[in-house]
């Protein structure tokens, strides 16, 4: 899905991860606006990647447990940028806040993503 929707990693910092996704034929709905499902796919992707950066992936995996999104304004073209920041990094659950903005920096969508941290089976 990452490749199909054209998602790209942009940058990472100590307390954030940033990706972008094009607003094009792959990601718009029939009215030529960014599809809400594409926004949620971007939010879950970046949330999962961010959560994975916070655990030892040789001992744990992370999976999506819950996601919600509020679509605030349409995007018609160009790129949207998602930024994930941690809200809570618990032992078994992580909660991430994800903001998706257009190229002008205007919020398009806000999302909250919860990841479950699951121990891998002993080898």
Collapsing DSSP states into helix, strand and coil, what is residue 123?
A: coil
Chain-centroid distance, C-alpha 8: 11
Of 8, 11, 44, 66, catalytic = 44
The residue with tokens 């605030």 is: 72
Is the sign of the CA dihedral 13, 16, 19, 20 positive or negative?
A: negative
Is 103 part of the annotated catalytic residue set? no
Determine the Cα–Cα distance for residues 38 and 62; give it in Å rounded to an integer.
21
Q: Which residues are catalytic?
A: 44
């Amino acid at each position: 899905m990452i490749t199909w929707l054209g998602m790209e990693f942009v940058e990472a910092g100590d307390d954030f991860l940033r990706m972008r996704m094009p607003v094009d034929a792959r990601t718009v709905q029939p009215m030529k606006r960014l599809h809400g499902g594409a926004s949620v796919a971007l939010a879950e992707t970046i949330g999962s990647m961010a959560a994975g950066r916070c655990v030892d992936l040789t001992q744990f995996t992370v999976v999506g447990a819950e996601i919600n999104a509020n679509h605030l304004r349409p995007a018609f073209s160009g790129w949207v940028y998602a930024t994930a920041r941690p809200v809570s990094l618990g032992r078994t659950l992580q909660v991430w806040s994800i903001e998706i903005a257009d190229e002008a920096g205007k919020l398009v969508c806000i999302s909250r993503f919860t990841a479950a941290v699951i121990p891998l089976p002993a080898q």
